[in-house]
Amino acid sequence: MPHLQQALFVVRHFKQTLRLTIYISTIFAATLLLGFRLLTNPVTITGHLKKNPKDSSAFVERVSIFVKGDNKVLAQTISDDKGNFTLTFTPRQEKSFDFYCRGLGIDTILIASFKSFESDTPDILFYIPGLRKKNSLGKTICPKCNKADKVYKIVYSDGIPDHFDDDTKVRKQNANPNIIDGEYYAGTCIVGVSKYFCDRDKVEF
Ligand SMILES: [Zn+2]
């Protein structure tokens, strides 16, 4: 009888130890997996700026380029005299990576938006202005949200015209005062290369 009791004790003790081992291993494995997820590799982009064949008014040489994620600048640089550049940053959990340009004759323009990258060292060709896509209805879509419903054609004019309702003669109040009758007034007489504005993302492209 004592032998049996001793044996049962050993079995029970072994079970407890095993359960504890599994418990600790699970926590260890979870921490390790989570750690790998958080410590993502930096991405180094080799970029090439090219003039958009449909609108070759922009310069691609010595242009300021920056990438934003969740509205924070992740990296910035200036293209060389051939329009080439490299950008390095470490992605976290950003919803998208938005590439902007700014330079001589270029207002701040969104040229491309990526949700992710195929490798840690992608080689990407960018156009200034970016290649504009249309939806099935023929409407230009925003490169960031891929939607057309908040996209407006940009009007370059010196100032924003007063706008009154035809019937009431009362000044129209818009959520965005720069948007009048479906057009976005850039409020500058300097003509930029952007042709469209997305009111959802507040970007020109
Ligand atoms: Zn948008």
Q: pLDDT tens across 154-185, in order?
A: 998 877 777 677 777 776 667 788 888 889 98
Same domain, 84 and 123: yes
**Beta-bridge mates of residue 44:** 88
Examine the domain organization and report whether 119 and 44 are in the same domain.
yes
List the structure tokens of 73: 């600048």
pLDDT at 195: 94
- The rounded Å distance from CA 186 to ligand 1 centre is 17
Domain boundary among 131, 157, 191: 131
Please tell me the distance between residue 192's alpha carbon and the centre of ligand 1 in angstroms.
Answer: 19
Residue 179: give the domain boundaries: 133-205
Average pLDDT over residues 52-59: 89
**Residue 77 β-bridge partners:** 65
pLDDT band at 50 (very low <50, low <70, confident <90, very high): very high
- In this structure, the answer to whether residues 53 and 123 fall within a common structural domain is yes
Tokens, residue 45: 């982009």
The residue among 148 and 10 whose pLDDT is bigger is 148
Percent helix, strand and coil across the chain, each to the nearest 5: 20, 35, 45
Query: Ligand 1 centre and the CA of 147: distance in Å?
Result: 6
Distance 146 CA to ligand 1 centre (A): 6
As a residue count, the chain comes to 205
At residue 35, does pLDDT exceed 60? no
Contacts (Cβ under 8 Å, ≥6 apart) of 49: 60, 63, 65, 79, 83, 84, 85, 101, 126, 127, 128
- Cβ distance 110 to 144 under 8 Å? yes
Distances in whole angstroms, Cα of residue 152 to Cα of each of 34, 86, 115, 201: 42, 32, 23, 12
Q: How far is the CA of 82 from the centre of ligand 1 (A)?
A: 30
Which two three-digit tokens encode residue 31? 């921490």
Q: How far is the CA of 70 from the centre of ligand 1 (A)?
A: 13
Whole-number Cα distances in Å, 23 to 16, 19, 20, 28: 10, 6, 5, 9
Confidence of residue 70 (pLDDT cuts 50, 70, 90): very high
pLDDT at 38 over 60: no
Q: Is there a single domain that holds both residue 96 and residue 30?
A: no
The DSSP secondary-structure symbol of 132 reads P
124 in the same domain as 204: no
pLDDT in tens, 98-127: 999 998 667 899 999 999 999 999 999 999
Question: Cα(198) to centroid of ligand 1, in Å?
Answer: 5
Distance 149 CA to ligand 1 centre (A): 9
Nearest to 68 by CA among 102, 41, 39, 36: 102
Kind and range of the H or E run holding 10:
helix 2-38
55's CB contacts (< 8 A; 6+ apart) are 129, 193, 195
Question: 142 CA distance to ligand 1 centroid (A)?
Answer: 5
Mean residue pLDDT of the chain comes to 87
Q: How far is the CA of 176 from the centre of ligand 1 (A)?
A: 15
Dig out the tokens for 53 from the structure. 């064949």
Same structural domain for residues 58 and 106?
yes
Please report which residue ranges of 41-150 form alpha helices under DSSP H.
none
Say how many Å lie between the CA of residue 201 and the centre of ligand 1.
Answer: 5
Ligand 1 centroid to 199 CA: how many Å? 7
Q: How far is the CA of 183 from the centre of ligand 1 (A)?
A: 15
**Residue 48 near residue 126 (C-beta atoms within 8 A):** yes
Residues 116 and 139 in one domain: no
**Can you give the pTM of this predicted structure?**
0.75
Confidence category of residue 189, pLDDT binned at 50, 70, 90: low
52 and 125 assigned to the same domain: yes
Q: Are residues 53 and 111 in the same domain?
A: yes
Residue 98 to residue 104: CA distance in whole angstroms: 20
* pLDDT (tens digit per residue) in 132-160: 999 999 999 999 999 999 999 999 887 77
Query: What's the gap in Å between 108 CA and the centre of ligand 1?
Result: 15
Domain containing residue 88: CATH number: 2.60.40.3330
CA of 42 to the centre of ligand 1 (A): 27
Instruction: Please tell me the least confidently modeled range out of 3-17, 29-43, 106-120.
Output: 29-43
Is the pLDDT score of 44 beyond 60? yes
pLDDT band at 186 (very low <50, low <70, confident <90, very high): confident
Number of folded domains that form the chain: 3
